[in-house]
Amino acid sequence: MDSILIVAFIVAAFMGINIGGNNAAAAMGAAYGAKVRTKYQAVMLIGIFSLLGAVFSGGEVIKTLGKGILPEGTILLEGAIVAVAAAGITMFVANMLRVPISTSQAAVGAVVGIGLFYGASKLNVPLLGYIVAWWIVTPILAWLLAYILGKYFYADILVWLADHSDSEASIKKLLNGLLIISGCYVAYSAGANNAANAVGPIVGAGGFSQFYGSVFAGMAIGFGALLMGGRVLDTVGKEITELCVVRATFVEFTSAIIVHIASILGVPVSLGEIVAAGVIGIGCANSGMHIVKGEVVKKIVIAWVISPLLAGALAFGLMMLI
């Protein structure tokens, strides 16, 4: 049992590090693209606030992945390790390709793969349908909110700032402060929602307690942001569309609110998907669809579809081998 627990720690750390390098890093993509934060500042803030989010708000999503999709006791520790490992491998491939895929979709796909191995009847199909509905609605909502804010409120906000500030320097200082707050909120929400992806199945199998699992996942996510976060920052912040400080603030606040609400309700959603949709929405509002670099968006969308299928197939195949 001790050796199995050691393997569980290693696998959870591997998954957490890859989460930090992918979805949590996307939390600061908007601000990095707007040139408000350096890459080093971005990954440091991600590390700190992801840990806080995992510890203080990560419990509900951990319950969903650990005990909601499959009945408690269905997955033994070995199966939980396989689920996390399958999702982690999927994330690692995405990080190497610099694509911000859905960590949550990979994690849920892996758990479903384990469930199919034990028998499809064990799966909580209504809950899965509820989660998938969130996956569909949240990026659409992020795109719509960002588009509306960028299209109909952006100019008015600029006018208001000009009327209520005595200099360009004071406006810049105010906007930079707002972007720091919004980015930290995004990172907090990312930790709250993504901690479950690293430890949820293992907590459900009794390998970790919920509290220590949250702390461990938060630390791994923070370390992953420092180690690997710079690669995906370039994709989200610079390769989709150009961002100014105001538009970046729109993207971060709307993304953080959506992810935080999902975390409170215990729904694993994709921060990377939501942020990227928000960036695309701002780009459309700013200059129309032609400004969005279609090849980058196409690669991201394909990865979103493939990630749960690949993770589920890996988990099922590994269980067959074991």
291: confidence class by pLDDT, cuts 50, 70, 90: low
pLDDT of residue 42: 75
Residues 1-52: tens digit of each pLDDT: 578 889 999 999 988 887 887 665 566 666 666 677 777 777 788 778 888 9
Would you say 232 and 135 are in contact if contact means Cβ atoms under 8 Å apart? no
pLDDT of residue 38: 74
Q: Is the pLDDT of residue 258 over 90?
A: yes
More confident residue, 172 or 154: 154
* Rounded Cα gap, residues 257 and 266, in angstroms: 14
Residue 304, Cβ density class (10 Å: 0-12 exposed, 13-18 middle, ≥19 buried): buried
Angle among Cα 134, 139, 140 to the nearest 5 degrees reads 95
Residues 259-283: tens digit of each pLDDT: 999 999 999 998 877 887 888 888 8
* Most distant pair of Cα atoms in the chain: their distance: 68
Which 8-state DSSP code applies to residue 239?
Answer: S
The percent of residues in the chain predicted with pLDDT above 70, rounded, is 84
- Residue 244, phi then psi, degrees to nearest 5: -105, 175
pLDDT of residue 224: 82
Location of structure tokens 């588009």: 147
82: confidence class by pLDDT, cuts 50, 70, 90: very high
Q: Give residues with Cβ within 8 angstroms of 131, minimum separation 6.
A: 64, 108, 267, 268
Least confident of 76-80, 183-187, 318-322: 183-187
The mean pLDDT value of the chain amounts to 83
pLDDT of residue 234: 62
pLDDT of residue 119: 85
The pLDDT of 111-131, averaged and rounded, is: 92
Would you say 259 and 23 are in contact if contact means Cβ atoms under 8 Å apart? no
The pLDDT of 141-160, averaged and rounded, is: 89
pLDDT of residue 86: 93
Would you say 252 and 31 are in contact if contact means Cβ atoms under 8 Å apart? yes
Residues 217-253: tens digit of each pLDDT: 988 888 887 777 666 666 555 554 556 778 878 888 9
- Residue 123, phi then psi, degrees to nearest 5: -70, 140
* Rounded Cα gap, residues 22 and 18, in angstroms: 6
Q: Which of 82, 36, 305, 57 is nearest to 183 (CA)?
A: 36
Least confident of 15-29, 127-141, 156-170: 15-29
Q: Nearest 10 degrees: CA dihedral of 270, 151, 284, 32?
A: -60
H or E, element range at 197: helix 168-204
